[in-house]
Chain A
């Protein structure tokens, strides 16, 4: 890189000021509340497409009721689902942004708590052993926060309030290399079958492939949080997504597990490389109200809110 490039890059660096953290807190409050009420347009379109394509009359009626739920939430400003979920945040950090990470996390937590107390929202977060509910939607290591570093001078905060009906239907298996791609397919299909009606199908089936066990599970969640129909750029992965999507919807579990050809709205895969002895696969499903909302901070001004 020429010296002029270094200078240009330095000039683009954004050192956040004091107001930034307050702005993050406000944004997280908004994101939590609004994500529970306003379903992303890609999910709405997927539900409508599924409704058009569904052949089983009772399945069609179920899908029509789900679409009616979304419009009722719009009109009455209601939460789509009462399950406020476990708040999960995906943070994308531009490499030219300078900030205090601990203060960012505090602001995210504070925004989540304020949404819960001020709206008010049901707090679904409890101590795992004592089962005591903190009443704030936060707790030890909750919200769950994932980070990714990218080029640029923006910070993006994506909230995914993850409902437990689908979260409880999560799976991880360390397959052997000899089980290959066929083993992956079989395992995913068995997971969807086993889950039946519980994750509130039609779901977005998120699949993690490769990595270590922990990485694999995180990839499955990232896949589930992707916009419906945004395919994986890797052609091999994309082919597997398409094949699994077709196979899952042939199974006949259907909307709410009561039959029909709408079991999944989409199948998304995120893949990492792995150890030569490993063939990890994880499944994390998103229930039909696949809620998510993001705030993008580009400078000291207010963030841009999108889905």
Chain B
């Protein structure tokens, strides 16, 4: 298991070399997405703003809705930026990758079968950031650079510039390895044994 310090957006080589269990720290740009904005994009079929669309090629998406403070000049200052549970957004994974070129999802809790398959088919990765650790995550966000669909506040689409962002754990890789699945498999066996001894 190796540790990588990577610059976003990631290259094919960056993704290819990562294996489940590796750890990563990131620098560069990441985009915050979650329930309301993905429902608008994929279910209500509202087009993404034109200036955002090209920026998502090779991008890293973070499952989040931050706490922010709006300043007088209309920009946003961070209050608390952390990560939300990914399974709710699982079914949007393939669309984000196929239609917009997103390569990495950063979230917590892992993806379901459908999202994990999309990562293998379209050569992407899922990085776990520890849930509940917003205090740490907030100190690693240098700036909130942009916002789209502000009316969905706080579930807008956010552009963050991050430095030394992590520790991130490669929990699902592009080769089909999935740490969550491995853990669940062992836990199922342990649980069956525990139950038989009740």
Query: A residues bordering B, Cβ < 8 Å?
Result: 58, 61-62, 65-66, 68-70, 72-73, 76, 78-84, 119-123, 131, 133, 135, 163-165, 168, 182, 185-186, 189-190, 193, 196-198, 200, 247, 250-254, 256-259, 287-289
Residue of A nearest to B136 (CB): A69
Q: Closest CB of chain A to B16's CB: distance in Å?
A: 23
Contacts A131-B36, A165-B85, A185-B198 given: A82-B110 contact, CB under 8 Å?
no
Contacts of B194 in A (CB 8 A): 189, 247, 250-251
Query: B residues bordering A, Cβ < 8 Å?
Result: 21, 36, 64-69, 79-85, 87, 108-110, 128, 130-139, 153-155, 167, 169, 171, 179-180, 182-184, 186-188, 190-191, 194-195, 198
> Is B132 within 8 A of A259, CB to CB?
no
Q: Closest CB of chain A to B114's CB: distance in Å?
A: 16
> Is A256 within 8 A of B131, CB to CB?
yes
Contacts of B187 in A (CB 8 A): 193, 196, 251-253
> Is A80 within 8 A of B69, CB to CB?
no
> Is A122 within 8 A of B135, CB to CB?
no
> Is A82 within 8 A of B65, CB to CB?
yes
> Is A65 within 8 A of B154, CB to CB?
no
Contacts of B68 in A (CB 8 A): 120, 122
CB < 8 Å neighbour of A196 from B83, B109, B130: B109
Q: Closest CB of chain B to A171's CB: distance in Å?
A: 16
Residue of B nearest to A263 (CB): B187
Q: Closest CB of chain A to B105's CB: distance in Å?
A: 14
Residue of A nearest to B79 (CB): A120
Q: Closest CB of chain B to A33's CB: distance in Å?
A: 11
Contacts of B64 in A (CB 8 A): 82
> Is A69 within 8 A of B130, CB to CB?
yes
> Is B130 within 8 A of A65, CB to CB?
yes
Q: How many angstroms between the C-alpha atoms of A193 and B195 in the bound complex?
A: 12
Q: Closest CB of chain B to A218's CB: distance in Å?
A: 24
Contacts of B79 in A (CB 8 A): 79, 119-122
> Is A76 within 8 A of B139, CB to CB?
yes
Contacts of A78 in B (CB 8 A): 80, 134-135, 138-139
